[in-house]
A and B are shown apart, each in its own frame.
Chain A
Amino acid sequence: MKNRGTGIAIGHYPTGQNGGGDPSQAMVKIQPDGSAVLTVGSCDLGQGCKTILAQMAAEVLGMEYEQVKVINHSVDNTPMSSGSYASRVTYVDGKATVEAAENAREILFQVAGEILEASPSDLIIENGKVFVKGDRKRFKTISKIVEVATYEKHKQVVGLGHFMKDFSKPDPETGECDPFCTLSWGVSFAEVEVDTDTGEVEVLRFVSYYDAGKAINPMLVEGQIQGGSVMGLGAALMEDLHPYYPNIEHQPDNLSDYSIPTTMDIPDFEALIYECPSTEGPYGAKGIGELSANYPSPAIINAIHDAIGVWLTELPASPEKVLRALESQ
């Protein structure tokens, strides 16, 4: 018999290294042609940090996205970054990048202010030019300002940025501490069909709705949600590194035995983005990389209960576990 059921799971995810103390730094240099180079120490694992950090720098500098180059490949030549983990890069490197770009912009404003005979606070930057507010005719191109800065004013148009949430030491008795930058939120819905003869569970529909604070690049956020959801689906239904736990015999040593989801295992994943801006994050952004992997398991287990009335308290919900649970009902 095939029974259908639905389930939900919700939760939160902290942005940044647990307990803080994880710095990231950034450097923005304005080039003679008016473009920019952003140097950061974090890695692009596919999440797209080069893209979104370039977007933030471009936003501050009134440039096109295509005008920002990103360098992140060499430890010697990049400022410190704790690394790409803990859903931290958008927020922590993002804040460092925005600060670096603002500092570079500040130098442009100083030099432009001297050329245009205006106070730096009266200037705005847009489309590769610095304008005097309210007077579209009084402007200098960024490349001209860099030229003047370099050859006349003895100035380097480089901005530095740093962000770190201070390390918060937990109280050994109460655990009291301030362990995260901000929290993002997630809610998920699963619909499953359980075959009570074979124990197989098929996920028919999965809807994920996650809070990115501000989606710097919505398609990349969607990509994180979909990718995490499928990873979570694998954890819910098929993955176990030590299937004969605690023994390590017959541990899977290839990707057939340790099976991760293929195109054939997935329903269409609906990824929805919510934006509840963080108070301190860059443009309100929050970390999105990890939380998406957390909800499929409980949502699917809850849906299985709705379908066939048994609770599984161990993952994965393999056909064997489902059948055993049905038997002992």
Chain B
Amino acid sequence: MTLKVVGQNVLRYDGLAHVTGETHFADDVIIPGTLTVKVLRSPVSKGKIMNLDIRAAMSVPGVASVITADDVPCNGYGHIPDQPVLVEEMVRYKGEPIVAVAAVDEDTAIEALEKIQLGIEEEEPVFDHIQAMMPDAPKVRPEGNIHMFGKYPFRQVKFGDIDAGFREADVIIENTYRHPSLEHAQLEPMVSQAVPEAGGKLTVYTVSQAPHFHLEELYGILKVKKNNVSGKHWITEKGSRTGQGLEFGDINFIGGTVGGGFGGKNDMHADHITALLALKSGQPCKWRWTREEDLLYSTYRGCWYITIKDGVKKDGRIVARKIKTIRESGAYASSNPHVVEHNIFNSTGPYFIPNVHSRGYCVYTNKPPASSMRGFGLTPSTFATEVQANKIASELSMDPWEFRFKNVYRNGDLTSTGSKLDSVALIEMMQTLAEKTGVTLPDRLKQMSSAKRGGNSI
């Protein structure tokens, strides 16, 4: 059947609104009487709050509401959930929110923040995730710095027989790669506006990439829905009455038009705090992160170390691969365990390798929580496996194209997690790329295809 609309370059649905300035992003919703939110963030990377006195802040004229951990009904959120909305007692990263203020304007909010008495007994932080894995490293969290995947401190993949694979190899090539931390730098900073509506309801204007999930997380914080914080003893349910009486459906999130995300808005950054302040003050509250806050304290792609050890035959075939990858998670889990799994499940790169053993670690440090970013676990592994591919080729004095043609996935191949592949096209795509870029491939490569490998799988 011929397609009429699918496959056509119809113009962008929201394009005209974008070019005329009619598109409204979360920050463009202007509601009279909205209070400005500012947050007191921890000045230190690790420590224990010894005293916190907000009375002077509350009595600044123009301050409508000041909230601390005591105002949060169930003070934990996130994928696990293990992250406090506002610090209870232990600070785990510089910039962690401790107190939030809603006031008539920014100056008043800042004045109120300056009046807060905060005493923190500083403790030694750990920033390097490799160092954080050492047994005597300072503890980011009471249960230790290495995230547990069930009973193991790693997620692993074992495929084939790794020892036999290395015995079969002619050359062993081992390298370590480092991928630094990166910021999404989406141009729309974090912003949230919570507006009380009739009958105790609440509307939240959000920049979320996943508003359905984030609304559920907020219901968990407000104890409208069960929040699965068992086992996270640093998260308390102090019995705050904020939002008491709310039911499922009483809060709505408005969004869906986001000024760039790239994974940076998969975690709730501001909606919980504006919601709590709006519920407490009964007035609309808006929190706009500054660009500085966005760069310093929003989620980011954590730093990675990836060590690849490959056993290779002289003809270029990889017959064994051992991988150890270590991902910096920052102070909380967020999506980091998933990022590590994504990395480990795909650690062969686009290559069929018959014997694989890979292990991925997710390590806590005293930094803001890292999380998802475009490319997720595969960005660092693509960097590592593709530079490794060229290093192997160069070691074997082989053409890097030829090396790839020999090893890439073909239809019917198994991934190291046991999935059987179809719709594979790498060989055909490389053939076209060579043509487009003026690279002459030898005939034997030009004649290859992604069709199933014959008989024996290599």
Which A residues are closer than 8 A to B by beta carbons? Answer: 6-14, 17-19, 41-46, 48, 50-51, 54-56, 58-59, 62-65, 70, 72-76, 78, 80-86, 170, 172-180, 182-183, 185-189, 205, 207, 209, 211, 213-220, 228, 231, 235, 239-242, 245-248, 251-255, 258, 260, 270, 272, 274, 276-279, 283, 286, 289-291, 293-295, 297-299, 301-302, 305, 311-316
Contact = CB atoms under 8 A, between A and B. Distances in A.
Contacts of A10: 350, 386, 404, 408, 426, 429-430
A248 B367 contact: yes
Contacts of A291: 375, 378
Nearest to A25: B212
Contacts of A58: 4-5
A282 to B, nearest CB: 8
Say whether chain A's binding surface is mostly helix, strand, loop, or mixed. Answer: loop
A220 B127 CA distance: 40
A283 to B, nearest CB: 5
B4 A59 contact: yes
Interface string B367-388: 1000010111111001101110
Given A172-B150, A277-B423, 6 more contacts: A75-B211, A83-B266, A177-B418, A213-B423, A217-B8, A231-B374
A189 B386 contact: no
Given A18-B377, A260-B185, A11 B433 contact: no
B264 to A, nearest CB: 10
A274 B252 contact: no
A82 B79 CA distance: 13
The list of the 8 closest CB pairs from A to B, nearest first, reads A83-B210, A175-B157, A298-B386, A246-B128, A246-B127, A276-B425, A9-B386, A50-B13
B102 interface: no
15 contacts: A44-B257, A45-B262, A51-B10, A55-B5, A73-B255, A83-B266, A179-B419, A209-B432, A211-B425, A211-B429, A242-B181, A245-B128, A276-B423, A291-B378, A316-B180
Contact of A48 (B12, B177, B342, B383): B12
A59 B3 CA distance: 7
A322 to B, nearest CB: 15
Given A18-B376, A177-B345, A315-B180, A299 B212 contact: no
A274 B6 contact: no
Interface stretch (B30-38, B81-89, B111-119, B295-303): B295-303
Given A73-B256, A241-B182, A315-B178, A220 B12 contact: yes
Contact of B180 (A241, A247, A248, A302): A241
Contacts of B374: 228, 231, 289-290, 293
Contacts of B149: 172
Interface string B299-343: 011010000000000000000000000000000000000100110
Nearest to B24: A73
Contact of A294 (B303, B375, B401): B375
A304 to B, nearest CB: 10
